[in-house]
Amino acid sequence: MEINSAEHSPEKKPWYRLLYIQVIIAIVLGVMLGKYWPEPSIGLKILGDGFVALVKMIIAPVIFITVSTGLASMNNLASVGRVTGKAMLYFITFSTLALVVGMVVANVIQPGHGMNIDPSTLDPKSIQDYVSASKEHSFSHFIMNIIPTSLLSSLTGDSILQVLFVAILFGVALSMTQEKSRPVIDFLNALSHPIFKIVSMLMKLAPIGAFGAMAFTVGKYGLDVLWNLIGLVGTFYLTAVLFVVVILGTVAWYNKFNLFKLLRYIKDELVLVLATSSSESALPSLMTKLERLGCSKQVVGLVVPTGYSFNLDGTNIYMTLAALFIAQACNFPLTIYEQVLLLLIAMLSSKGSAGVTGAGFITLAATLAVVKGFPVAGIALILGVDKFMSECRALTNFIGNAVATLVVARWDNQLDEEILKRELR
């Protein structure tokens, strides 16, 4: 995909035309509407859901075209395995580190200590849907779900990994038959222009989606609900911030780029993720911006979609932190062995819970059920504030994938560091 330089002109727009400013204004208006007119605000959920649905509609074509054309241009297919291997090494390392960080913080701060909750007094009906969904969240189910029913069904479904799987197969086939497949490659390259123009058009609707999402959230749950479990929410946000600033910041520094400059560069996408609680809402524009930062199309096409299922730093911090919070709140002692078991199970169960609202909660239910006797009904304690934590999960996942892509691109010498420095300035 070629990026039109005119679209990235250094000429500054008026402040009111900047996307992140428009989204922030929309968020403030949504919060005010939800607080003072909660009943009509709940009906605005359709605006937020509609925007996320529009973006998800275009994700499959974006991934398919980016990955297949990127692989088609590669003469050495061994580099595909090399990039994928480096990406998976990064994902496993930092996903595990995020789980450990959540566990350490929960043991040190103990946000659930002293609550003395009797699990039998909790309403199991409130979590029944999540527990039922978690029963299908096994590792074997995840592996089988990567394989689509047909080649074309992957482009009409909502599984990122299915699209990626088919795109890699198709891209490899194009690379092996480059001369005979030249018309197909040229067609896909040409098709990328209107596809990414659609992405640009959809992003203009982001303020409307943000307004509807925030109005619904505040109207439905109210602002006061956040104070019910402020200890857990505050601990989670603090842990996520420390993980991003200290750990990802160190990784960025070691790889010769500034994390805070990167965050400023993708601020539009960060505000959008915050408003919609879904990192998928900004996936297409993130891929475009990472290419502008000097990452090769091949690395962006392989690392970003894969990271949405395998590199979920925010979800992993949430998993161990929330699990130990529930155990502490319900006075259910966990031995070191059981905590390590939870960590290992979380490493598997978290894979595939892409950045969609509620996926982390379902994954948590699946993980807790592994420990014998664990008061799974205790997840009802955090049901009310899960929506507020989902935003932090999505933001941390999103930032982690942006950093991972730049790092893997640099490891594989597929990052133009001069372009990176120029763009971040």
Going residue by residue through the chain, which has 425 residues, state the pLDDT in tens, using 9 for 90 and above.
444 433 444 456 677 677 777 888 888 888 888 888 888 888 888 888 888 778 778 878 887 887 788 777 666 667 777 888 898 899 889 988 998 998 898 888 888 777 676 666 555 554 455 445 445 555 566 567 778 888 887 777 767 678 878 888 888 888 888 788 889 988 988 988 888 888 778 878 888 888 887 788 778 766 654 454 567 778 888 999 999 999 999 999 999 999 999 999 998 888 888 877 777 778 888 988 999 999 988 888 888 888 877 788 888 888 888 888 888 888 888 888 888 888 877 776 665 454 444 455 666 766 776 677 777 777 766 765 666 677 788 899 999 999 999 999 999 888 888 999 999 88
- Cα separation of 234 and 226, whole Å? 10
Max Cα separation, the chain? 69
Instruction: Check which CATH number belongs to the domain holding 268 and give it.
Output: 1.10.3860.10
First to last CA, the chain: 24
pLDDT at 9 (0 to 100): 43
3-class SS shares of the chain: helix, strand, coil, % to 5: 75, 0, 25
pLDDT at 201 (0 to 100): 85
* 331 phi-psi bin (left φ>0, alpha ψ -120 to 50, beta other): left
- Residue 124 sits at the vertex; the CA angle it makes with 123 and 128, to the nearest 5 degrees, is 135
Are 216 and 42 in contact by the 8 Å Cβ rule? The answer is: yes
- For 397, how many CA atoms within 13 A lie in the half-sphere containing its CB? 38
pLDDT at 3 (0 to 100): 42
DSSP state string for 67-132:
HHHHHHT-S-THHHHHHHHHHHHHHHHHHHHHHHHHHHHHHHH-TTTT----GGGS-GGGGHHHHH
- Cα separation of 70 and 409, whole Å? 14
pLDDT at 355 (0 to 100): 40
Sign of the four-CA dihedral 303, 304, 308, 311: positive
- Cα separation of 182 and 192, whole Å? 16
Torsion of CA 36, 37, 38, 43, to 10 degrees: -150
pTM greater than 0.95 (yes/no): no
pLDDT at 63 (0 to 100): 76
The residue segments making up the domain with residue 385 are 5-424
Q: How many domains does the chain have?
A: 1
pLDDT at 265 (0 to 100): 93
- Cα separation of 280 and 398, whole Å? 9
pLDDT at 259 (0 to 100): 95
b (16+ CB within 10 A) / e for 295-324: bbbbbbbbbbbbbbbbbbbbbbbbbbbbbb
